[in-house]
Every structure is written in C-alpha cells, then in structure tokens.
Amino acid sequence: MTTAAWICLLSPLAGAVAITLLGTRIPRREAGYLATLSVAVSAVAAAVAFFAALGRGGEEREAETTAWTWLTAGELDFGLTLLVDPLSILMMLIVAGVGSLIVGYSIGYMDGDDEERRFFVYMALFVFSMLLLVLAGNFLILLAGWGLVGLCSYLLIGFHHERPSAIAAAKKAFVMNAVGDAAMALALFLLIYESGTLDYLRSFERVGELGSTTATLVALGLLGGAVAKSAQIPLHTWLPDAMEGPTPVSALIHAATMVTAGVYLIVRTHPIFEASVGIQELAAGLGAITLLVAGLIALVQTDIKRVIAYSTMSQIGYMFLGAGIGAYANGMFHLMTHAFFKALLFLGAGIVIHALVGEQDIRKMGGLRGLMPKTFVAMLIGAGALAALPPLSGFFSKDSILASALAREDGFGYVLYAVGLAGALLTAMYTFRMIFVVFLGEPSAFVREHHHAHQGKEGPFSMTAPVAVLAVLAVIGGWIQIAGTGWHPLADFLDPVVAVEREHLALVEPTVTQDYVTAALSVALSLAGIALAWLIYGARRREAPRQPFLQRVLERKFYCDEAYDFAFYRPAAATARGWTRWIEGPLIGGSIAGLAGGTRELGRGLSEAQTGFLRTYALAIASGLAVLALVFVSVRL
C-alpha cells in the first residue's frame, strides 16, 4: 500500500522532470503522451493502494511511511512522511484518475501550440503538487504541497503570458491565495508550538490539551487557508478570472485539484475544528452563503466557462456545508461525484470552444445540438448531474448533504437546509440556461460562419474519449452510496478517519423519511428551475424579465471586486505613492544623491589643488608644519 502511494506521488514528478530535461529533443505531441502516461501510472498506483486497503480492516488501513528525516529535535521530526489512509487514498483516486483524463484530453486541445512542452510540464507538476498535499503525513509537507499547488495554478492560469488579462488573472489568484496561505501558516506555527509536534496523528491526540482560545485561532487560520484555496466567500474573486487559462487547466483546477484542497483540509483536520465548534459552523455558514451568491451570479454570466466556474463555487459551498456540520463522508462523496461531472462539463465546453475557434460567449452560440450531437449528450448528462437529477451522480451526493442538515434538527440546520434547497433551484436554472442557449434553436450566424469539424468529427479521439469516460462516471458515480437503503460503502470506507462524536456536533443520521423528503423537494425544485430556464431561454426564446438594478448587481458580482479595490488596492497604492514621494524620494533617494554630489565636489576641489608645481607642494607642506608647530607650542604654554 505504501509502495503504491510512493509510485502514485512520484510518477507525475518524474514525467515533468523528464520532459524538462529532454527539452526540444522530445516532439511537442510526445511530451503530451509522456505527461499523460506518468499521470496514468499514478492513477493505476492509486487503484492498487485502494484495493490493498480494501483487503485490510479498520485501523490496518492506515500506514505512515517516511523517505528520510531531515532533522529530529525532541518530538519534532522534519521529514518527508506520507500518511496512507482511506481519506488520502480516495483523494489519490480522484486527483490521479480524473487528472489523467484531463491531461490526456489536453493532447488534442493543445495540439499545435508552440508551448506544448511547457504546458505539460506544468500539468504534471500540478498533479504531483496536489498528490503531495493529500498524501502529506505532517503539517510541514502539507504546507509544501499547499504552496506548490498555488504556484502551479499561477503558472497555468497565466500560461498565455502574451495576454495582459491572463497575467492579471494569475497574479490575482496568487495574491488572493497568499492571504489564505499566510493565515494557514500562522495557524500551523501556533499548533506546532502548542502541541510540540508536526505529525498529524500526535497533534490530533493533543487537541484536547489546547486552550479554547488557541483551538479557535488555529481552526480560524486553517479555515482561512481553506476558504482561499476553495474560492469561498470572501476570498472567492480569483476563481472566475482563472478562466483565462486553457480549458484543460480550468477542468483540472475545478475538478481534481486546487479548489478541492480546502474541503480536504477541513476533513483531514476535523479534530481541530471539532474543538472549536463555532469555527466549524462558520465554515458551514460560509459554504451556504457562497452556494447561494455564486448561483445568483451564474444566472447572468455570458462566458460558458464562467458559468461552469461559478457552479464550482456553489458546489464547493455544499461540501463546506457538509464538512461544517460534521457530515464528512457526505462532503467527500459530493467532492468525488463533482469531480466527474465538473470535469465532464469543462471538457465538453472545451470541445465547443475548440469547434468555434476559441469563442466562449454563449450569446454567439446556438443550434449546436445538430452539429455536435455527442457533445450535446455529454453536456446534458453533466448538466443533469450538476442539477442533481436522478439517477445521475449529483442526485445521490448533494441530497445526502441536505438530508444531514435537516437531521441536525435545530435552527441553524434548518437555515442551511433551506439555503441548500434554494441553491438547487438556482443550479438547475443557470445550468440549463447554458444548455438551452448553446445547443437549442437554430444555429446562429456566428456558428454557421465559424463552426468547423475535426476531420468530420466533433473532436480528435484524445478529446472525445475522456469526455465519454467522464459521462459514464457522471451517470454511475453516485450509485456507490444510496441514502435510505443502508447502502453506504464509501462512508464505511472513510469511517476510520472521519468518525466523530455525533452528539458533540448536534448531528444525527438522517432518517429514511428525511432522506426521501429531501430527495423529493430537491428534484422538484430542480425541475422547476429547468422549467423556468426553458420558458425564458428555450425554443421560444422569451426575454427574461427586466430588472435593471438586480441585473447590474449580479453582472458586477455584488461589487466584490470594486469593494476590494476600494478597501485594499487603492489605499495600498496611495500609501506606496506617498512613501515614494515623501520618504523614499527626499530622504532615501535625496540622501544618496547628496552624498554622491558631495563626494564629487570634494573630488573636484582636491583635483584643483593638484597643480603639478613643486613650489606649491612645498608651500603646502611648510604651512602644515607651521600649523602643527603652533599647535604644539600653544599646548605647552
């Protein structure tokens, strides 16, 4: 099991290093094959680790392995340690499995790009970084993986560095994540100082020894890191702009890496959050707010990738909600199914964009169902799973989170439940708005002029095959756990890691009635959302009711960017200009300029004294001796 984990971790790194060292000696397309192979080997190793864990029971499914130890000081061990347990194995399967499909898809999507080799190095490195994060056995390695994921996202979002918008989006993602990273790092330093260890398991055992204030501060810092990485309110504004990267990058960030890291962090460190219930409930509340706000904003987006991006924010909100109420297994279940249908939607959108020579504005699309029937079916499956329609995967995973909120049976749980149901209505509306506008009706003038087929097909095999696999997974992925039937193998698999004291969190298991009521309400609201989308955007193409103020607020994304610009950027820029004008210029720059000028003047004066006449030098020496003699005589008197 541990050997498979090491292979899983190091294989993408080996692929990235090999492509880098080979340089131009490896053809661009072969670089894609090598990167795909390295990630596919990682996926196979993850599957081997999974089946090895299935053959064991309970605590035997947990193993630590250390490659080397850099430093030992008391109980502090600074080393490369991996923790292989059901939670990390599940994440390995998602990251490497879905990641291999996305990297393979990139072979066709990036074909002909001058920087293919660099792209595939970044992609393989991204997968390695995420695997390092989820396999970390201590907080030091977690922090290393956390930082590498942020670096890789910066490199990939800004991959098209000739575009100013891409560079701005990359910097924005880096800065926003750095805020959360700093909060998380401070929390880890405090935790290590108080617990005296870097190791997960030992620090979790000592959580009870932390004071309430310390536990709250640590949990709050961890939540800050999770919120930034998973693009939850208030550190969410970077994610829509991240669509400046190539479509496979968007799929990898949203489905298998990056944004799932925050959910994983909360679940991995749940003993710390349980020691500060208020912070854990704050996580649930932030998730609920995010899923609602993101759903509203998605209703007015016109970029096909941004619609899907806001759906990611919304669905991650459901996962935060689940983790925040202690339904960890349900949150991870939704993380898994979400990876399937979100990757499917992004890659399907990529085929559409590829066929329309890079166009992403849905207002220029329409009538693609007849031209791209297979892509339409795939996108329809992904949309149905996102809208939680039975029997697709999202139906089983999202409803399990809502039922857990209802089972909480207190005011906070009811609020979360109501917000989650409202999110189901919004999800169906914006998702099927996209489907109806892009695929139904007659082909637009833009489509008729620019649509092109790839050798008579909807796309090359390297692009269509991963989409087909993900479509199948989006259909059957949720069947692994069915609420109300007693069939919950995923929860049983994760139970050794995420088992909690239910009473401590005011959480009880949903009853069969609660499961069925939740499923009925969720499906009804989803169907209502689809019906509304059809009435407004379907074949009859009625205009949406005009609400100028609301439209403007949603299009401006609740003015979050403007608020941050006013509160942070402008004061920082004004302060920098003030320091430059009043401090750096006159004091620092002026003193340096004065010193340089004085030195030049002194040199100029000395140079004028150098006449070259012996009598001048003799007079100077004699004058100096006379002055010295006068001084000595004066002292003696």
- Name the helix (H) or strand (E) containing 187: helix 164-195
Nearest to 30 by CA among 462, 344, 457, 454: 462
Residue 603's pLDDT band (cuts 50, 70, 90): confident
**pLDDT 10s digits, 503-554:** 455 456 788 888 899 999 999 999 999 999 998 887 555 455 566 778 788 8
**pLDDT 10s digits, 402-456:** 999 998 878 888 999 999 999 999 999 999 999 999 998 888 888 888 887 666 6
Return the amino acid letter for 472. Answer: V
- Domain membership of residue 566 (yes or no) is yes
- Residue by residue, DSSP assigns 370-414 as HH-HHHHHHHHHHHHHHTT-TTSHHHHHHHHHHHHHHHT-SHHHH
Distance CA 352, CA 459 (A): 9
Nearest to 430 by CA among 334, 353, 544, 332: 544
- Domain membership of residue 239 (yes or no) is no
58-61, Cβ contacts within 8 angstroms, sequence gap of 24 or more: 58/496, 59/496, 61/85, 61/86, 61/496
- Domain membership of residue 502 (yes or no) is no
User: Structure tokens of 542?
Assistant: 């009625």
- Name the helix (H) or strand (E) containing 67: strand 63-73
For 331, which DSSP code? H
Q: How many domains does the chain have?
A: 1
Distance CA 123, CA 99 (A): 9
- By residue range, what is the domain housing residue 612? 562-636
- Domain membership of residue 248 (yes or no) is no
| 474-512 exposure pattern, b = at least 16 Cβ within 10 A, e = fewer | bbebbebbebbeeebebbebbebbbebeeeebbbeebee
Return the amino acid letter for 369. Answer: R
**pLDDT 10s digits, 312-343:** 999 999 999 999 998 899 999 999 999 999 99
- Domain membership of residue 603 (yes or no) is yes
- Domain membership of residue 60 (yes or no) is no
Nearest to 132 by CA among 94, 103, 97, 92: 92
pTM of the model: 0.89
- Residue by residue, DSSP assigns 588-614 as IIHHHHHHHHHHHHHHHHHHHH----H
Asked if 61 contacts 496 with a C-beta cutoff of 8 angstroms, the reply is yes
Percent of the chain as helix, strand, coil, to the nearest 5: 80, 5, 20
- Domain membership of residue 237 (yes or no) is no
Least confident segment among 27-41, 270-284, 549-563: 549-563
Distance CA 54, CA 49 (A): 9
- Domain membership of residue 360 (yes or no) is no
